[in-house]
Amino acid sequence: MSEPLYNTAILRLAAAIPHQTRLAEPQGTSRKVSPICGSRVTADVGLDGEGRVALFGQEVRACALGQASASILGGGVIGKTAIELRGAHAALAAFLKGDDDVPDGWPDLEIFRPAQAYKARH
């Protein structure tokens, strides 16, 4: 564990979460709650005619890691398809388990490399 889990890059992202207003009429909503710390993130999406995310809103009540994750998602979700997002999710899970490859199209996820050593935080 050579790098600290909470670093300056994570704290910067946590302080700058985009799209922090829930959508009034979302086409889809997902809510996740961490069993470890109770962090909660609710995300709403609106899709365009091609199935790409056109609108995004989120409510984030989370620790710095959850806030940084929400910041990265909010910064990159617009224009993505469900297939692309599922692929990024699977690649992130593999990355956190020790895979060296950061998910394509999401270079900021590199800041979570120190979290690989903290399995309870995945």
Sign of the CA dihedral with 89 first, then 95, 107, and 5 last = positive
Specify the pTM.
0.88
* CB contact at 8 A, 40 and 22: no
Mean pLDDT taken over the chain? 91
Question: To which residue do tokens 């388990």 refer?
Answer: 97
Residue-wise pLDDT for 36-93, tens only, equals 889 999 999 999 999 999 999 999 999 999 999 999 999 999 999 999 999 999 989 8
Q: Can you list the domains of the chain with their CATH numbers?
A: 8-121 (3.90.1010.10)
